[in-house]
Amino acid sequence: MDFSLLGPVTVTAGPPAASVELPLGPAKRRSVLAMLLLRPNATVSVEQLISSLWEDEPPAHARTVIQGHVSRLRAALAEGGAEDHGVELTTHSSAYLLRIPDALIDTQRFDQLTAQASPESAPGEAVQLLRQALGLWRGPALTGTVASPP
């Protein structure tokens, strides 16, 4: 399973040669997932989600909309075998938490690779690590969310 934020927000499942992209749905749902992935293994309050999804006045039923998006994300993740990969989307009072191994998120792998390419690294090794990190980018970050340009 692979979660991508460095380009279009996507989740792929299956072996690398035959992986399939999970159906995540509309921009607001992708935005909910992106916010959870940007704070892996930490709670994100419903209020934070609401303020990020609606620039102006949120609709009266904003909490219900968020609950619907989370429910559909859970279904998509389950379809992709999330449990087998240690991924779980849980509810905590009025917040959500995405339990996920860091290695499954491209931004976390990017951070790890760039940290390994420290000044103490051999120059050739540092260049190789930085190239791997840059290779994770597939376009403008967070494409397909409410934050991405039209």
* pLDDT digit string, tens, across residues 55-110: 889 999 999 999 999 999 999 999 999 999 999 999 999 999 999 999 999 999 99
* pLDDT digit string, tens, across residues 9-45: 999 999 888 999 999 999 999 999 999 999 999 999 9
- Domain of residue 79, residue span: 1-150
* Three-class secondary structure assignment of 118-132: CCCCCHHHHHHHHHH
Q: For the chain, how many structural domains are there in total?
A: 1
DSSP letters, the chain, are -EEE-SSB-EEEES-GGG-EE----SHHHHHHHHHHHHSTTSEEEHHHHHHHH-SSPPPTTHHHHHHHHHHHHHHHHHHTTGGGGT-EEEEETTEEEEE--GGGBHHHHHHHHHHHS-TTS-HHHHHHHHHHHHHT--SSTTBTSTTS--
Res. 149: pLDDT tops 80:
no
pLDDT at 146: 92
CA distance 116 to 110: 10
* pLDDT digit string, tens, across residues 2-11: 999 999 999 9
Confidence of residue 148 (pLDDT cuts 50, 70, 90): confident
Res. 122: pLDDT tops 90:
no
What is the distance, to the nearest Å, from the Cα of residue 99 to the centroid of all Cα atoms in its chain?
Answer: 11
pLDDT at 150: 60
**What CATH number did the domain enclosing 26 receive?**
1.10.10.10
Q: Mean of the pLDDT values across residues 136-147?
A: 94
pLDDT at 147: 80
**Do 44 and 95 meet the contact criterion of CB atoms below 8 Å apart?**
yes
Among 30, 143, 39, which Cα is nearest to 99's? 39
